[in-house]
Copies of this chain bind each other. A is one copy, B any other.
């Protein structure tokens, strides 16, 4: 959180109350949250009650690398890297929705270059591995 605040100051981004609240909420939740779950929290805090409020805050966080959208779940997680530019891969537990962020293998570079050779200009790469985390596997699929 401190890191995020610092990153925003450094980049002249406005970490408004709603945005800060959403980021804190995501950081505290150890699972991916849907936009509507976030909205519930916002509403609880008196910061907004309509979907666009949640989507706008989430869009801001994602656009600035402070959060990530997990496509597979249509849900969001806080970034664990303090907002630095980076490409990440995610390990998504299908049972508890916990998400771990890991470095994107350098090998992805190969995919991007190969695509470029074929005339396709890659802008972003989504890598999401779905499976079972340790705890859920022990608890039985």
Interface residues of A (CB under 8 A from B): 71-72, 89, 91, 93-94, 100, 102, 105-108, 110-112, 114-115, 118-134, 137
Report whether B110 and A133 are in contact in the complex, using a CB–CB cutoff of 8 Å: no
Contact status A89-B111, CB under 8 Å = yes
Q: Whole-angstrom distance from the CB of A100 to the nearest CB of chain B?
A: 7
Q: How far is the CB of A92 from chain B (nearest CB, A)?
A: 9
The docked-state distance in angstroms from the alpha carbon of A118 to that of B91 is 11
Query: Once the chains bind, are A91 and B105 in contact (CB under 8 Å)?
Result: no
Known: A91-B115, A107-B107, A115-B102. A128 touches B130 (CB 8 A): no
Q: Is the CB of A102 within 8 A of B107?
A: no
